[in-house]
Amino acid sequence: MDFVASVVTGVATLSSTLEDGRTQIVGLLLPSDFLGRPGRTRVPFTVAAATEVLMCCFRRKPFEDLLHRAPHVAAQLLDMTLDELQAARDWMLVLGRKTAPEKIASLLVLLARREAALRPVVPKGRVEIELVLTREAMADHLGLTLETVSRQFSSLRRDGVIDLKGTRHVTVHDFDRLVTVANYDGSL
């Protein structure tokens, strides 16, 4: 890659794959997220558009020059990177220690919060979530199989936590209940 970029609209995934095909999505690129690394030509992950994606791209050289000349841009990039690092570490807790139901709920909470971050509303009570990912992509992000993801959605529906309209649209009846299922404590 001879450019760096920032997502404007749409969703892309960052993933790693083992030789036998097992795939882990290690990050979602949502609007405002940054892709690429100053000083490096290669992104050591697979980048794939999950929806149609519009990105704002900069050729690497001019961008690197900009970083040298404009310290506040570099500071901003550092801060964004530190946010991503923290998000990655938070997700490790989900991958390493949460159960399947907790993982699904955690993903829904994450998507709701990221969606809400673009608007001035804190998720509460009834919340609508547009799933931008297939069951398989969610599985690959959560370290599950697509069958388990599907089963957990059915289970959340049976338990009255969510409603499904079609296959990609989720209605959360009580956001706090979802947060409880996700086993999020106060920190996030």
Partner DNA sequence: CGTATTATTGACCACTTTCAAAGTGAGTGG
Partner DNA sequence: CCACTCACTTTGAAAGTGGTCAATAATACG
Q: Applying CB under 7 A, which residues contact DNA?
A: 99-101, 134-136, 143-151, 153-154, 164, 166-168
Residue carrying the six token digits 């991503």 = 84
Q: How many other C-beta atoms are found inside a 10 Å radius of the C-beta of residue 185? A: 6
Q: How many other C-beta atoms are found inside a 10 Å radius of the C-beta of residue 61? A: 10
Looking only at the bridges linking them, the beta strands covering 54-59 and 162-165 are unpaired
The 8-class DSSP code of residue 35 comes to: E
User: What token pair was written down for 100?
Assistant: 């399947």
Compute the least distance from the CB of residue 168 to DNA, in Å: 6
Compute the least distance from the CB of residue 163 to DNA, in Å: 11
Within positions 71 to 110, which residues make up the interface with a second copy, using CB under 8 A? 71, 74-75, 77-79, 81-82, 84-86, 88-93, 95-98
Contact partner, 18, from a second copy, DNA, none, Cβ < 5-8 Å per class = a second copy
User: How long is the chain?
Assistant: 188
Nearest CA among 114, 104, 140 for reference residue 29? 114
**Residue 39 binding a second copy, by CB under 8 A:** yes
Give the interface with a second copy as residue ranges (CB under 8 A).
Answer: 14, 16, 18-20, 22-24, 26-27, 37-39, 44-45, 67-68, 71, 74-75, 77-79, 81-82, 84-86, 88-93, 95-98, 140, 142-143, 183, 185, 187
